[in-house]
Structure 1
Amino acid sequence: MTQQTTTKPAPTTDYTALISSLAKDARAAQMRLARMSDIEKAAALRSAAHALRAQKADILAANEKDMAAGRESGLTDALLDRLKLDEDRLEGIASAVEAVAGLPDPVGEVLSTDKRPNGLELSRVRVPVGVIGIIYESRPNVTIDAAVLCVRAGNAAILRGGSEAVHSNRALHAALAEGMAEKGVPEAAVQLMPTQEREAVGAMLKASGEIDMIVPRGGKGLVERVQNDARVPVLAHLDGICHTYIDASADPEMAREVAVNAKMRRTGICGAMETLLIDSDFANGEEVVSAILDAGCEVVGNEAAQALDSRISAAQASDWDTEYLEPKLSVAVVGGLDDALEHIARHSSGHTDVVISSDDKVTERFLNEVDSAIVMVNASSQFADGGEFGLGAEIGIATGRLHARGPVALEGLTTYKWQVRGTGQTRP
């Protein structure tokens, strides 16, 4: 039977008081988490995975409510795909929880040590960030991914999911809370916001001193709002405008297979390729774009790209800066590596960019000169995922340059403190 988790009743106007109450409870729970051992936290997550499987029927029924409402409200196919849960996806979520449970606990890791000439012994040690607020849209799996990563790294989480997934999020949270509580994790370690009102999000963003970090996952509008309004540190990315550049030396079969997968495996994820760059000296460009078109993708391109296939229509200037998240792709034929690097520097969102080449000089230049969080050689950009990187799961892909970059998992949810051990030293 699904445990009915308790939530505080949402006030009609005083959202600041609501967030303060949630944050106060989260802080107390986080202090209890800090006293739990690695073994205890791992056991709690394994218990949560068991509860997710045991409550599969309830979770999928709740998700179907959200899917029905989404279809009725006209959600796009890409958004419906993000929202959808089925047995395979739910098993993937539960398996990811177990994978996080099996990862080494980063808390307490000694990053560096030093002994000063005066005898002081210095250590930098990983510690939890504290209370983390996660604001996200559409994807109910984020409820679990974010929660378990926070708990594994000793943090408390306040989750605010999108209204599209409200029933799914509640069912997932109920199972998670029940499973972890059986192993001693306090309920307030992971709290689901009891209201969908936008004003509550505004209160979260202004809760400086109560919430230690905000992580937004969602569309450009959500992330921009968070970054513009937050008075709390933000760990975020905007768009996933991911490029794949096919060099003249690329193996034709590899280029075709990687390009099709990068775009069409799942078009609605942030690691999906949105722009394909083809070297003008690559002899098999027609085959690559034909395979993408045949897979059901709309393609727009520059004049040289249009010459590759009559089905390619003219790209507008805005296309090069658009994250489609659907079966649509921009293609440009470029005059070599320098042109490709220039295009990527101008239009990339700093998420993931790929080169397909058999020339080591080209690949090394690409790796060194493309300033993105993830840079790949001869592999699909769809691998831009914390699970695929061996991180168990991820809370998001950070495209900034501070604190954490790329898939944010356990280490990205920690900070460090200095521990100084002396023997009575005084400073002259």
Structure 2
Amino acid sequence: MKPAVEVNFDGLIGPSHNYGGLSDGNLASARNSGDVSNPREAAVQGLEKMRSLVRAGLVQGVLPPLPRPNFDLLVSAGFTGSDTQIIEAAARQAPRLLKAAYSASSMWTANAATVSPSADTSDGLLHFTPANLSTMLHRSLEHPDTTASLISIFAGDHRFAVHAALPAHPDFSDEGAANHVRLCAEHGARGVELFVYGRDAAESVAGFPARQTRLAAESVARSHGLDPARTVIVRQAKRAIEAGAFHNDVVCVGALDTLFFHEAAFEDTAATLEALRRAGDGLFDLKPVMVPEAEVPLEDAIRSYLFNSQLLQFPDEDRLVLVAPLEAKETASTARFCEQMVAGNGPIGRVEFVDVRQSMRNGGGPACLRLRVVMTEDELAECHSGVILDEELIDELQAAVRRTYRDRLSPEDLADPSFADECRVAREELLKILELEDLA
């Protein structure tokens, strides 16, 4: 076993962060649709969360925002002329399409890709498969630019394998790490990879969309060279999806040997836990922490995003730390459960609440904002160092955000052609700081 660390790569929230209400099944997105957002505050909040983990002694990375607006979408829809003419015409004729082109949803990097560490893969490479996110138009635009970012950051095919996204067809609908959990004894040890799906490939599901298919999970597991005996694929509870858990990470999070989940997370909880124990036999003893419906109603769990939290191993702490949104502290049932949980002797010993309200209002908590990448020392040394954060770099990024981002943005502001230039200038400045000018 090679020593390894879990690096959290957070998405740097982009200058076009707005409440467009584009995501069917995401209750917070729908509830706040049309409200005025604050891109500057959102990005600063996200960077402050990253800073807190750097100060705790964790390795923290960042992924840059994607180029917005996405002119390829607008040109494909038949809009022609200069950038100004394209935006003005789209604002008049297809305002929802313009909102999709401006979407800053790549900030939620839990959806950027599925990642399998080299300890789990047959070829010993660190594997990435960018998610096609084909269920939602605004998210389906992301994977070409996400792939380019991953290739720039994780260059070198003797250590990293960046795959193409799965086919953009409903049968292959893939939502990335938001429906994936890795369990292990230590980060560098061989682990078990849990994939959670919402529907079978050809299955039609009424109500809110079940975004992840079993076929997508199976395809990613195959391409990553995972051991079938150490891979578990289970179904998310239909009830959870209907209640607004559009991704499994809204009702479940795991780290090391611990799985923290709501009673309504899985279609068959007993079978899920048995499959994980069987797959982990000889590797680790599973520590399940199930939150009963009687103590935390599913609606409270989803509204507070208790499970859309980061579950982390802090240096010099014997028990795991749950980094949760402030909303979980302000919801009576989840606050009470957290207090009781840490008072016990279970694997989670502390809850740290963070302010990511700008993201939360669009339906993304702390776990949505990060992509977990387990890396050996050699892999970390070959990763692009410009995206590995320290406090000085965070200060520099925050200063750039304060210079270039608006502190007030409504969906109607997207019709202003000058805003496209603002977004380009802001992103180019950030890319320069991160030494990723090749992505400009």
Is TM (by shorter chain) over 0.5?
Answer: no
After TM superposition, the score normalised by the length of structure 2 is: 0.30
Highest RCO, 1 vs 2 (Cα 8 Å, sep ≥ 6): 2
After TM superposition, the score normalised by the length of structure 1 is: 0.30
